[in-house]
């Protein structure tokens, strides 16, 4: 269970956002930072606390032995801690800023511009003479070579639930406090836009639902949400099962050939196949083939990820963007995707025109249950460009996220064999030989908890991005319009104050008979699908997809890290990737032979079951396949 979710603390002036331990380590703004020696002592205490709660040990599952990835993570944390303690990131804010901003503002437009710049560099609080948000300045080197959200965790432990981070002229507010996250995402969501995210994604998603703001977002959200109705999501379970079955065939071949497999790329292909069918009824079949369109999708995705992590926007440099081979490739990929989407839209339009249409709330075309079909059948009055933007957005939103969840779930399962054993027990008792049904999925409660817990440890994406559209108060601090904000879901999900043994993969922390954990019942300490009006529209879809895939894969196979596999480290794009893939050895599962007992049902030649005693069953199919006799299911 989450540890006590206190949202009051020492790091802000009023109703402060996050309370660090009663050691008084949290600092009240950059004007009151302790001297480096005190910071070092404070930092050591924090580290000790975190190390004590760090996972990799036995925990619920018992990985048995130290995890090199965790060791490396600890080493980096200690290194960064030493740099924080040395004062490298700490700026002492001068008290002359507020009066100077006041004077500059009175000097007409040039003065106003200078005041705005100074406000941006110094922070809104200082510029307004109000309490100042704790401030850290980083050298870009602090983030290079590791996923950028990792050092933010250490800074969070030092500076509290909201602090400012400056990289040269760029300034960001880092939010790791549930109450502030709730304020931005839900209570005052209208005052925040997608900011940088919209700018970065414009080239691929245009005004699709993720980057869109204002009226366009409102209209498109209202059109798209109804398409993911209960009946549609239930129908998708069949699709998840079929795709998982194809995945199993692929793994089966590798198991027979004794070849190790790189699971991260396979998960990516699996989820691409699923989302293509689900959103616009297109079979990428990327698990079987590499073709032009699959490559085009990946070129585009990698470009989006590169743009979201690159410090210099080379793609905006006028001549460079026309002659750079990389940009040419991206443009060609986009052209191919757009023409494919246009073709799919045209085909679907023809189908809808020929249909004897009776549109209603849970409308679904049995042959083509895709979201595109629903949107066109609903008479959605939308331009082809907007429709394309929406489809592209869902393709990307529903692809890499689910793939990343599956990747990290299987990594965690390989580290926690007891969790894997319990998971396989549940799956064996629930799933039969056919594809899972909605009833089965509802019974896969532990499997669902495994996914919930994997999403806690590896949230996808690890940060949510916003920009303030007006002045506001965050955790008692005034902030100005135009602030770029990162809500660190990673920090929220790893906060030692909120979670017992925060670093341990422990699906048991979520009771099986309890509600499905979400941002509401965890009061914004757990945000796997965001929160407020911009919450993910595919949360149910994605949960069922990852549950079905996990269940079907672990039913058929055992998974271990391959001998000599590279260490599994994190890197960031839009989601958390591994640095060098997830190389695993996959083996067919063998199960202990079932010894028939007198309580078992005897199957006659005619396949009509005759009961020798009133209760139990051995199915003819399982006898024929040898499943229960140590064979392969």
Q: What are the residues binding ligand HEM (CB under 6 A)?
A: 209-210, 221, 393-394, 397-398, 401-402, 405, 460, 464, 528-530, 534, 536-538, 541-542, 546
Nearer to ligand HEM, 130 or 241 (CB): 241
In the structure encoding, which two tokens stand for residue 143, read together?
């983030």
Q: Where are the alpha helices (DSSP H) in 34-90?
A: 36-53, 68-85
Q: How far is the CB of 20 from ligand HEM (least distance, A)?
A: 26
3-state DSSP percent of the chain in helix, strand and coil, to 5: 50, 10, 35
> In the bound complex, what is the minimum distance in angstroms from residue 8's beta carbon to ligand HEM?
25
Q: Is 16 or 489 the residue whose CB approaches ligand HEM more closely?
A: 489
- Dihedral sign, CA of 438, 439, 442, 443? negative
Please report how close the Cβ of residue 189 comes to ligand HEM at its closest, in angstroms.
9
| C-alpha distances out from residue 209 to 110, 129, 480, Å | 37, 38, 26
Residue 239: its H or E element: helix 230-257
Dist CA 418 CA 404 (whole Å) = 22
Looking at beta carbons only, is 162 or 228 nearer to ligand HEM? 228
- Going from the C-alpha of 386 to that of each of 212, 293, 393, 452, 557, the distances in angstroms are 11, 21, 10, 33, 43
Cα 378 from Cα 364, distance rounded (Å): 10
Q: Among residues 399 and 445, whose Cβ is nearest to ligand HEM?
A: 399
- Shortest distance in whole angstroms from residue 496 CB to ligand HEM: 22
Nearer to ligand HEM, 156 or 526 (CB): 526
Instruction: Say how many residues make up the chain.
Output: 633
Using DSSP, state whether 530 is helix, strand or coil.
strand
Neighbouring residues of 266: CB distance < 8 A, sequence distance ≥ 6: 247, 250, 251, 287
The answer to whether residues 93 and 29 touch, using CB atoms and an 8 Å cutoff, is yes
CA 168 remoteness from chain centre: 28
Q: Which is nearer to ligand HEM, 209 or 548 (CB)?
A: 209
Closest to ligand HEM by CB, 276 vs 530, is 530
- CB nearer to ligand HEM: pick between 277 and 534: 534
Q: Which residues, in sequence order, are CB contacts of 179 under 8 Å at separation 6+?
A: 7, 15, 17, 161, 475, 524
The torsion angles phi and psi of 528, rounded to 5 degrees, stand at -65, -25
To which H or E segment does residue 392 belong? Answer: helix 384-397
User: Per the annotation, does 248 bind a ligand?
Assistant: no
Taking the complex as a whole, how short is the minimal distance between the CB of residue 74 and ligand HEM, in angstroms? 26
Which residue, 89 or 505, is less far from ligand HEM as judged by CB?
505
Q: CB of residue 364 vs ligand HEM: minimum separation in angstroms? A: 15
Longest dimension (CA), the chain: 97
- In the bound complex, which residue of the shown chain has the CB atom lying closest to ligand HEM? 538
Closest approach, Cβ 537 to ligand HEM, in A, equals 5
- Residue by residue, DSSP assigns 86-123 as TTTTB-PPPTTHHHHHHHHHTTHHHHHHHHHHHHHHH-
Q: Residue 437: helix, strand or coil by DSSP? A: coil
Helical segments of 416-483, H only: 417-430, 438-443, 445-457
DSSP 2: B
Between 85 and 301, whose beta carbon lies closer to ligand HEM?
301
Q: State in angstroms the smallest separation of the CB of 217 from ligand HEM.
A: 6
Decide whether 17 or 398 has the Cβ nearer to ligand HEM: 398
- Do residues 555 and 589 make contact, with C-beta atoms less than 8 angstroms apart? yes
Q: Per the omega criterion (within 30 degrees of 0), is the bond before 461 cis? A: yes
Distance of closest approach, residue 175 Cβ to ligand HEM, in angstroms: 13
Task: Between 39 and 372, name the residue whose CB sits nearer to ligand HEM.
Answer: 372
Least distance in angstroms from the C-beta of 438 to ligand HEM: 17
Name the minimum Å distance from CB 61 to ligand HEM: 21
Interhelix angle for 445-457 vs 417-430, to 10°? 150
From the number of C-beta atoms within 10 Å of its C-beta (0-12, 13-18, 19+), residue 24 rates as exposed
Contacts of 323 (CB under 8 A, 6+ apart): none
Place of tokens 């049904």: 437
CB 362, min distance to ligand HEM, A: 17
Q: What is the DSSP letter of 616?
A: B
Residue numbers in the known binding site are: 536
Residue numbers in the known binding site for heme are: 536
């Amino acid at each position: 269970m989450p540890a006590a979710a206190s949202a009051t603390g020492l790091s802000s002036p009023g109703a402060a956002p996050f309370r660090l331990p009663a050691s008084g380590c949290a600092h009240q703004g950059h004007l009151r930072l302790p001297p480096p020696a005190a910071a070092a002592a404070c930092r050591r205490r924090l580290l000790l606390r975190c190390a004590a709660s760090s996972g990799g040990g036995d925990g619920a599952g018992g990985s048995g032995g130290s995890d090199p990835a965790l060791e490396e993570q600890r080493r980096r944390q200690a290194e960064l801690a030493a740099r924080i303690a040395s004062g490298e990131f700490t700026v002492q804010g001068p008290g002359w800023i507020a009066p100077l901003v006041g004077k500059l503002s009175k000097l007409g437009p040039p003065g106003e511009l200078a005041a705005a710049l100074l406000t941006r560099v110094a922070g809104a609080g200082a510029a307004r003479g109000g309490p100042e948000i704790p401030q850290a300045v980083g050298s870009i080197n602090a983030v290079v070579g590791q996923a950028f959200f990792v050092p933010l965790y250490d800074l969070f432990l030092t500076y509290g639930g909201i602090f400012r981070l400056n990289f040269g002229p760029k300034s960001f507010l880092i939010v790791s406090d549930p109450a502030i996250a709730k304020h931005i995402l839900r209570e005052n969501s209208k005052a925040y836009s997608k900011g940088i995210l919209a700018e970065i994604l414009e080239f691929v998603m245009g005004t699709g639902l993720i980057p869109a703001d204002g009226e366009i977002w409102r209209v498109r959200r209202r059109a798209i949400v109804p398409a993911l109705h209960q009946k549609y999501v239930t129908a998708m379970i069949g699709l998840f099962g079929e795709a998982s079955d194809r995945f199993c065939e692929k793994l089966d071949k590798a198991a027979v050939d004794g070849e190790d497999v790189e699971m991260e790329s396979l998960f990516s292909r699996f989820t691409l196949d699923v989302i293509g069918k689900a959103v616009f009824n297109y079979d990428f079949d990327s698990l079987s083939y590499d073709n032009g369109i699959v490559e085009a999708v990946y070129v585009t995705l990698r470009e989006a990820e590169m743009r979201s992590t690159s410090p210099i926007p080379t793609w905006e440099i006028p001549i460079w963007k026309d002659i750079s081979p990389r940009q040419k490739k991206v443009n060609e990929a986009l052209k191919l995707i757009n023409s494919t989407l246009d073709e799919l839209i045209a085909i679907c339009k023809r189908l809808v025109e020929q249909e004897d249409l009776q549109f209603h709330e849970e409308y679904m075309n049995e042959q083509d249950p895709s979201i595109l079909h629903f949107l066109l059948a609903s008479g959605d009055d939308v331009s082809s460009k907007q429709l394309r933007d929406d489809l592209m957005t869902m393709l990307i939103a529903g692809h890499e996220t689910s793939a990343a969840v599956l990747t990290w779930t299987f990594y965690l399962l390989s580290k926690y064999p007891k969790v894997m054993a319990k998971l396989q027990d549940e799956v064996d008792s629930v799933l039969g030989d056919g594809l899972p049904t909605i009833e089965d999925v509802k019974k896969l409660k532990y499997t669902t908890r495994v996914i919930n817990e994997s999403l806690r440890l590896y949230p996808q994406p690890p940060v949510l991005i916003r920009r303030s559209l007006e002045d506001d108060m965050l955790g008692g601090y005034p902030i100005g319009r135009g602030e770029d904000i990162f809500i660190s879901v990673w920090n929220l999900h790893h906060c030692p104050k909120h979670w017992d043994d925060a670093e341990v993969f422990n699906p048991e922390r979520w009771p099986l008979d309890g509600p499905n954990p979400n941002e509401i019942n965890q009061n914004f300490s757990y945000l796997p699908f965001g929160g407020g009006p911009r919450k993910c529209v595919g949360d149910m879809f994605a949960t069922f997809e990852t549950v079905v895939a996990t269940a079907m894969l672990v039913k058929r196979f055992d998974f271990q890290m391959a001998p000599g596999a590279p260490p599994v480290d994190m890197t960031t794009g839009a989601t958390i990737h591994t640095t060098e893939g997830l190389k695993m050895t996959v083996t067919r599962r063998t199960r202990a032979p079932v010894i028939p007992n007198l309580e078992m049902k005897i199957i006659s030649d005619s396949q009509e079951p005759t009961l020798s005693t009133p209760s139990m069953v051995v199915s003819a199919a399982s006898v024929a396949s040898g499943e229960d006799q140590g064979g392969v299911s």
